[in-house]
Amino acid sequence: MSQVCVIAGASGFVGQQLVTALLDSGYDVKCGSRRPDQSALRHPAWNWVHLDVDDTSSLDNVFQGADSLIYLVHQMRETGPDLAGREQSSAHRVRSAAERAGLRRIVYLGGPQPQTKPSPHLAARLATGVALRKGTISTIELQAGMIIGAGSQSWMIVRDLALRLPVMVLPSWLSRRSQPIGIADVCRAIVYSVQLTQQKSSCLALPGPEVVTAREVLERIAAAVGIRPVMIPIPILTPSVSSHWIRWVTRADYAVARKLVEGLTTDLIADGTNFWDLYPEVERTGLDQAIGAALLSEPPESLPPWQRRLEYIIQRISMRAP
């Protein structure tokens, strides 16, 4: 009999990619969404269920008969001084319902641990992980930075900046280093985390294979389509001011973009226990490969004509690649 895995936040970017990975691995998947009817319009063959992290009855219903939970919920568009508190309350509610249902494992996809004081957005994500790991259920927290893949808000920002601006100014935060990771590796790590036999809870960094600055990410994206934008450093541009610039140039949600940029005031380099140390035989997706896959999977109908031309160029380059 297949194990039942619940995804809280299955309608999001990572969730939609993860459902397929879990189904391919033989799991029965309950796709949790606050609006399951709307979510089913996009993926009618999936098992959509009503799941609201602030509704205890929905949690009890969905967790019944399940083996594991993958927690992908984060209120990126929410504002207010107590974001971390509200997210911790949701995490406590989910943890309690999971304990009542007797779940074996919780996997939480969180954010990276910065080397200095975290932004409110990152602090809320880290606090959620702490709240989940304090329970009696074995919880694996995976701390990932930028996820490379079509549909990711952080990817959308760098993608649009790199391909839409022939000349761009570079605020100081673009010199910060991080370890972007491809969406395929994120899904693989989550599936592996569900399968881990350890009983204790763990907090593990989930880095990509390269340490790069945000500027280098922009340059690598541009190089993938054969362009070389002019980049002019302007150190006085703060993350707050830069978020307005991003608002007009990219398709990213402004509220989400602002929180993401605010988190780039320091390097986001994996420190401590690394998830991939558990699987040394796994070869992670290279940054250029992840960028190429993300560019090719961009839905053509969402792009203006001149960007569709770029997609055609990408495909031609891919066909000539060895």
Q: What is the reported pLDDT for 80?
A: 57
* Per CATH, domain 4-145+180-205 is 1.10.390.10: no
293-319 confidence digits (pLDDT tens): 999 887 654 555 445 555 555 555 555
Query: Please, how many CA atoms are within 13 Å of residue 147, restricted to the half-sphere of its CB?
Result: 24
Q: Which residues of 77-111 are buried (b: 16+ CB within 10 A; e: fewer)?
A: eeeeeebbeebbebbebbbebbeebebebbbbbbb
- Residue predicted with more confidence, 104 or 159: 104
Distance CA 255, CA 322 (A): 41
Burial tier of 228 (Cβ tally within 10 Å: 0-12, 13-18, 19+)? exposed
**Has residue 48 got a pLDDT over 50?**
yes
100-157 confidence digits (pLDDT tens): 999 999 999 999 888 788 888 888 899 999 999 999 999 999 999 999 999 888 888 8
195-222 confidence digits (pLDDT tens): 999 999 999 999 999 999 988 999 999 9
Distance CA 254, CA 76 (A): 10
Q: What is the reported pLDDT for 117?
A: 84
The per-type count for the chain, helices as H runs and strands as E runs, is 12, 13
Q: What is the reported pLDDT for 1?
A: 58
**Has residue 322 got a pLDDT over 50?**
no
